[in-house]
Amino acid sequence: MKGCESVSNVVPSLITALVVLWLSMGVCRSQLSTDFYANSCPAVFRVVRRQLFSALRNDTRMAASLLRLHFHDCFVNGCDGSVLLDGSDSEKLALPNRNSARGFDVIDTIKTAVENACNATVSCADILTIAARDSVYLSGGPYWNVLLGRRDGLVANQTGANDLPSPFDSIDTIIDKFVAVGLNTTDVVSLSGGHTIGRARCVTFSGRLYDFSEDSSVDPTLDPSMATELQTLCPQSGGDGNATAPLDRNSNYAFDNHYFKNLLEEKGLLSSDQGLFSSDEGQAATKALVQAYSNSSSLFFRDFVNSMIKMGNISPLTSSAGEIRRNCRVVN
């Protein structure tokens, strides 16, 4: 009987511990809210929008750069602003970001303006989240209420940044990387639709233009006329690989579903883009969504918003974790 009594005492204790853990997780999640700064910094949205509008007026491509920066932040250590940190282990120096990640100066400018309005209140991670949303909206895309309340991380993770989803990855590998951070196949396709704005360097797609395989010098899933144009832009020898081409041919600065229409015509720029429709893995997992989004911008916008909210919820630091950086490039 004593053995039974001891077990009966342990079980309620275990249940209590599990309930406490579950509640604490719920509290952590609930600390992200759309009105987090309603009292402490009610002007934050207006300040960010004003500075971002000025930046886009000078460089329309900056919208895509800030959206990409948010993506690269959230996939490494969660959405904690770690991509903004300088230093020897900076994520900026990782291969996916080196010579290609942009927008750091814009975030600095926005942060300064926000600090002037509300000192030591709004995190760099939240500023990047708002800037990414507004970049989409000001490019003609959907608007959504962003969840806020993230705090800034104290360390960068260059190793993690070197394992970001890559344009050279297979579709299955990309899906696996999304699943590892709590996202799914729908998120893969909808967030890839962010490539409806922006540009990519020759180095990210030139492998499709020359010596592609034993059977074909050019990727057979790349439209021939487009391949010829890209070969002119990105010569096999003599180029530095840094010339850029639009990710969404003929609709470079408008956030729309034209990107998906291009994939149906084999006009996706990156292998990972066209692979969503044309690869064997894509045919099995992602092709149907590509077709659906190409037919319905409203469906694409709806799923994109849901995926952005999910991505923004990857491992946020809240409560007393992390800090509110005064300078997004360095810890306090």
User: Which positions are annotated as active-site residues?
Assistant: 72
| H/E stretch holding 187 | helix 185-192
Q: Encoding tokens for residue 86? A: 């300088």
Residue 244: DSSP 8-state: E
- CA–CA separation, 165 vs 267, rounded Å? 21
Residue 171 burial class via C-beta count within 10 angstroms: exposed 0-12, middle 13-18, buried 19 and up: buried
Strand partners, 301: none
Whether the CB-CB separation of 64 and 23 falls below 8 Å is answered with no
Q: Encoding tokens for residue 292? A: 């659906």
Contacts of 321 (CB under 8 A, 6+ apart): 151
**Other residues' Cβ atoms within 10 Å of the Cβ of residue 237:** 5
- CA–CA separation, 292 vs 323, rounded Å? 42
